[in-house]
Amino acid sequence: MSRDLRQLEEGLRAYLTDGQAVTGVKALSTGHSNETYLVEGLNRILRMPPSEEGLLPPYDMAREYGAITAVGSWEDPPPVPKAYELCLDAAVIGDPFFLMERRYGEAYEYAEPEWFAKASPEARSGMCAQWVAAVAAVHRMPAALMPGPRTSVVEQAAHWYDVAQNAESSQMLIDVIDDLVRNPPRASGPESPVHGDPKVGNCLWNECQMVALLDWEMAHVGEPLTDLGYMACFYDQGDRALASAGFYAPGWWSRERLIGEWEAATNRTAHDMRRYEALALCKISAIIALGFHLHRIGRARDPRFEAWGKVLPGFIELTLERAAA
């Protein structure tokens, strides 16, 4: 993180109508994606683009703000923070930004938190029910309510094809994505709002209660099975268990139940799920490959990107397995 927190504090204090209440700015999550800060005094969350080269441009604050606002206003919404100030003037604190409500909880994806390990199987089952219900609520929204772009499955696959090529990734990965472009999986019905990244790691939990579904920067209108495929791709990983903490704990739903409950909640049919899972893993692999590539050629300094080179073969292996299923 290369931002001057003092500069952020002073800029917010001068710009916001209640800015005199700002007592400091604390970094919560920074790096390759939209960055998250706590605005102390106001007790609100600040979202900004990455301070250095990121992996998922363009970073459109108005798009994410619009998605959160639209979802929060739906009659049957998933748990999302309330969005407040949107500022597109980069001169205020160095980049466009928006503020949103602070919600109290913990996110995880690589290691089980202590409270999860101690939870009963029934409580873990309840977490799965909340996770599926939150994502299904997005998919039940009218497409016209989501301000994001319309993106087809083919367009998504073509985008990750370009990313993988630019990252000089494995030819095996590029070939799998090319096949998805030429032979896309079937649709579940009319297009709907799509979250874009509905992994467990983007859920905020207070013990076993979901308090927020976060990270709406890739929200768009398209095929909801791309979300379900992303959720399901973390199953059946064997001893690799890449970013799937808790998926093998007693009470956690099976992949089959996850899919069945989503179908019941959306009144849609989950066609060609293994291909949607392969598409999700292509997306993850392409992003990881790009981060490692940017670090290798000196365009990014984040040490996490260098470490991604060690996990990339595992994700590509999983991708090939799902594509062949």
- Over its length of 325 residues, how does the chain's per-residue pLDDT go in tens digits? 578 999 999 999 999 999 999 999 999 986 567 899 999 999 999 999 988 766 777 788 999 999 999 999 998 899 999 999 999 999 999 999 999 999 999 999 999 999 999 999 999 999 999 999 999 999 999 999 999 799 999 999 999 999 999 998 999 999 999 999 999 999 999 999 999 999 999 999 999 999 999 999 999 999 999 999 999 999 988 777 778 899 999 999 999 999 999 999 999 999 999 999 999 999 999 999 998 998 888 887 778 888 888 888 888 999 999 999 8
- pLDDT reported for residue 31: 59
Please name every residue paired with 83 in a beta bridge, in sequence order, or none if there are none: 100
How far is it, in rounded angstroms, from Cα 12 to Cα 19?
6
How far is it, in rounded angstroms, from Cα 53 to Cα 115?
35
* CATH 3.30.200.20 residue window(s) in the chain: 5-101
The model's pTM is 0.94
- pLDDT reported for residue 33: 74
- pLDDT reported for residue 299: 84
CB 137 within 8 A of CB 78: yes
Q: Kindly state which CATH superfamily the domain 114-324 is placed in.
A: Aminoglycoside phosphotransferase (APH), C-terminal lobe (3.90.1200.10)
**Residue 83 zone, left/alpha/beta (φ > 0; ψ -120 to 50; rest):** beta
- pLDDT reported for residue 37: 96
- pLDDT reported for residue 1: 59
* CATH 3.90.1200.10 residue window(s) in the chain: 114-324
Q: CATH fold of 5-101, please?
A: Phosphorylase Kinase; domain 1 (3.30.200)
- pLDDT reported for residue 302: 77
Q: For residues 101, 12, 219 and 123, what is the CA-based torsion angle, rounded to 10 degrees?
A: -30
Tallying the residues shown for the chain, one arrives at 325
Specify the pairing of strand 203-206 against strand 24-29: unpaired
CB 137 within 8 A of CB 74: yes
> Following DSSP, what letter does each residue of 202-240 receive, concatenated?
GEEEETTEEEEE---TT-EEE-THHHHHHHHTTSS-TT-
| Alpha-carbon distance values, 265 to 133, 172, 273 (Å) | 7, 36, 17
Angle at 105 between CA 100 and CA 108, to 5 degrees: 110
Q: For residues 133, 135, 140 and 145, what is the CA-based torsion angle, rounded to 10 degrees?
A: 140
